[in-house]
Amino acid sequence: MLKKLSKTEETLLFGTGDSLDSLQLVNLITIIEQKLEEETGDFISLADEKAMSLDESPFKTVGSLKNYINTLINEGAN
């Protein structure tokens, strides 16, 4: 079960403080990937080598994850 998080872009997802543990983060990513596939009809992998190679983790905050998802969707549209 996922931990209840604040719904702000600054909410920490992973890394420090009151954030998700690694298993909770994996569960969140899986749920988001499923929802994205339902909405777009395409599978969009969030935890790929591109995400892992970025200087700033897209999984740090709600805002950074939202921006990363938008980037992936826009890249797929091109």
Split into its structural domains, the chain has a count of 1
Residue 52 lies in a domain: yes
State the Cα–Cα distance between residues 21 and 3, nearest whole angstrom. Answer: 9
CA distance 16 to 48: 22
Tell me the sheet residues that pair with 61. 12
Query: Domain for residue 60, yes or no?
Result: yes
What is the reported pTM?
Answer: 0.85
Structural domain includes residue 65: yes
pLDDT at 6: 79
- Residue 60 sits in which domain range? 22-77
- Work out the pLDDT band at 77, boundaries 50, 70, 90: low
Cα distances (Å, whole numbers) of residue 54 to 36, 59, 60: 21, 11, 12
Residue 5 lies in a domain: no
CB 2 within 8 A of CB 27: yes
Model confidence over 25-46: pLDDT tens digits?
999 999 999 999 999 899 999 9
